[in-house]
């Protein structure tokens, strides 16, 4: 087994802590202790806690899109890809024990006070929406939807709502309801 690099270990530990207990509630000393590193080692890799936060967001975005791509890799039909998006988000909620979306959590904690973070989160959500828009455009090419862009916006909002609802309720039935709605919306 390959030994984890210090840089990667710091990001992994910080990511776990930021997600579980929040960015503001996570101190540098806790990250150092749980990563089992010296303070100098942390600052050799990251100049500040904010730099570590940016690395966390980049890692989570990369993981999100890789996971998504893997979940649709063998699916050809656009309608089934949309259902796979819902199933992917449902799976993320289950695996996190309904802790919610990394990006929604960080933006609700940090707000617009840190424009680098808020811009990153907004761009990440836009990328998610663009993925859905691309799939809906592919679907529309076959089914002639009236307004595929509006449909993509609706689907994105339904899925985001399901994430928030399942985080609050600690259940996944909101995703099943969204699947039924989308199957009704897409002829």
pLDDT digits (tens, 9 = 90+) for 122-152: 999 999 999 999 999 999 877 777 788 899 9
Q: Are residues 67 and 104 in the same domain?
A: yes
Domain CATH number, residue 65: 1.10.357.10
From CA 169, how far away is CA 110, in angstroms rounded? 23
Structure confidence by residue, pLDDT tens digits, 45-88: 999 999 999 999 999 999 999 999 999 999 999 999 999 999 99
What is the extent of the structural domain holding 29?
1-47
pLDDT band at 37, cuts 50/70/90?
very high
Verify that 37 and 77 share a domain, yes or no.
Answer: no
Domain total in the chain: 2
Cβ count near 61 (within 10 Å): 18
Same domain, 38 and 70: no
Instruction: Report the distance separating Cα 117 and Cα 23, nearest Å.
Output: 12
| Distance between CA atoms of residues 55 and 51, nearest Å | 6
- The tokens for 104 are 């929604």
Instruction: State pTM to two decimals.
Output: 0.91
The crossing angle, in degrees rounded to 10, of helices 49-72 and 78-95 is: 130
pLDDT, tens digit, 9 for 90 and up, residues 80-95:
999 999 999 999 999 9
Domain CATH for 26: 1.10.10.60
* Tokens coding 86: 């819902």
């Amino acid at each position: 087994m390959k030994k984890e690099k210090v840089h990667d270990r710091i990001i992994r530990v910080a990511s776990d802590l930021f997600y579980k207990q929040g960015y503001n509630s996570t101190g540098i000393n806790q990250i150092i202790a749980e990563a089992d590193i010296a303070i100098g080692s942390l600052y050799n890799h990251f100049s500040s806690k904010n730099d570590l936060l940016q690395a966390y967001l980049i890692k989570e975005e990369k993981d999100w899109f890789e996971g998504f791509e893997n979940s649709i890799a063998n699916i050809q039909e656009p309608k089934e890809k949309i259902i796979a998006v819902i199933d992917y988000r449902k799976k993320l909620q289950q695996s996190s024990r309904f802790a919610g979306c990394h990006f929604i959590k960080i933006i609700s904690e940090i707000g617009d006070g840190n424009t680098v973070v808020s811009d990153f989160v907004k761009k990440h959500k836009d990328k998610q929406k663009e993925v859905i828009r691309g799939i809906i455009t592919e679907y529309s090419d076959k089914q002639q939807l009236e307004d595929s862009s509006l449909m993509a916006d609706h689907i994105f909002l339904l899925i985001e709502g399901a994430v928030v609802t399942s985080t609050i309720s600690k259940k996944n039935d909101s995703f099943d309801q969204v699947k039924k709605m989308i199957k009704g919306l897409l002829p």
